[in-house]
Amino acid sequence: MNKLEIWCPDTIIDGPFHLTKFNYLGKLSISFENENGQEITFTYNQNINGRYILASRFTDEMKRGDLVNSALKARENYAKNLKAWYLYKVTDSDFIKWYDDLSGPGSDYIKNIEHHIYSGSEDTFEVLSEYEPEVTVKNI
């Protein structure tokens, strides 16, 4: 379970990521700084049926040690360059399976659910959404 795939947004970004902001007021924004002096913000701002995301979870990086081998396999499948990577999409997702077990519509009704993982230097954010977020990068 939890097969990770490298996620490369159109915007060129580099890690490692250090969490700077998490804001869920009317939309979800997660911001990181990298060691190149950039602030990278991922914003879920599409209101679909009254919600911007379906679910999110936050864990300490150490608690998600189960993702290490899946992340390594994703990097091996993506390229021979095994540099660290910080953005993933998940197929065969345990998070989506958990969401499906809740009351109300799940992936049987919402066909385009995506599971996104943001791996920061100390934190892991996971988001279930029906679309990719807007990505903005600015020099700080």
For the chain, the domains span: 3-139
Judge residue 17's burial from the number of C-beta atoms within 10 Å of its C-beta, 0-12 exposed, 13-18 middle, 19 or more buried. buried
The pLDDT confidence band at residue 138, using thresholds 50, 70 and 90, is very high
What pLDDT sits at residue 84? Answer: 53
Q: State pLDDT tens for residues 11-69.
A: 677 778 899 999 999 899 999 998 889 999 999 999 999 999 999 998 876 555 566 56
- CA separation (Å) from 56 to 28, 60, 106? 10, 14, 15
Q: Residues 92, 3: contact at Cβ < 8 Å?
A: yes
Q: Is 64 helix (H, G, I), strand (E, B) or coil?
A: helix
Strand partners, 6: 88
Alpha helices for 32-113 (secondary structure H) = 68-78, 94-101
Please check the confidence at residue 79 and state whether its pLDDT lies above 70: no
pLDDT, averaged across the chain: 84
Stretch 125-140: mean pLDDT? 94
- CA separation (Å) from 105 to 89, 101, 112, 131, 137? 21, 9, 12, 17, 34
Q: Residues 31, 39: contact at Cβ < 8 Å?
A: yes
First to last CA, the chain: 38
